[in-house]
Homo-oligomer: A and B are copies of this chain.
Amino acid sequence: MLRIAKLTDYATGLMTQMAHQPERWVSAQQLALELNLPAPTVARLLKQLGRAGLVVSQRGKGGGYGLARPAREISVAEVIAAIEGPVALTECALGDGRCSLERDCATRANWRVISQAVQVALEAVSLADMTAQRLHAIQFSSLHHQPRKA
């Protein structure tokens, strides 16, 4: 179905929830309660998001997590990348070369272009947009149109 992993869905939920709350620190347990998600899983996700630099943490009593940047400056694409790695619709779009049909790899190049288009679509949506409740249609006006004239 071309779907993101459930954990990634959770992660965007966590990020969106934090974007709602301006309070500096929210504990993992608190977020788990608010979103009705298993606490250990939430903890694990927040650690991953921390390593990716999307959230900052404060240890000890009264500590917790918070967005590392304003919600406006964090895209859905970044959250997905933090949990699942870079967007690459096909395996060989990464360029590992572990592709069984090396034969005609104009196909590979084309997949890379398609992946990038999807990436751009996901970059166009910020956490602030997710909280805004009124996301109509994605504006592609902000596309990084770089039609390299090879």
A52 at the interface (CB under 8 A from B): no
Please tell me the number of chain A residues within 8 Å of chain B, measured between CB atoms.
Answer: 55
A49 at the interface (CB under 8 A from B): no
Q: Contact check, A101 vs B35: say whether CB atoms are below 8 A apart.
A: yes
Identical copies of this chain, number: 2
Q: Contact check, A137 vs B147: say whether CB atoms are below 8 A apart.
A: yes
- 19 additional A-B residue pairs with CB within 8 Å, beyond A13-B107, A137-B146: A1-B87, A2-B4, A2-B80, A3-B91, A3-B93, A4-B89, A6-B91, A36-B100, A36-B103, A37-B100, A76-B114, A109-B135, A110-B129, A113-B137, A114-B121, A114-B138, A118-B121, A137-B143, A137-B145
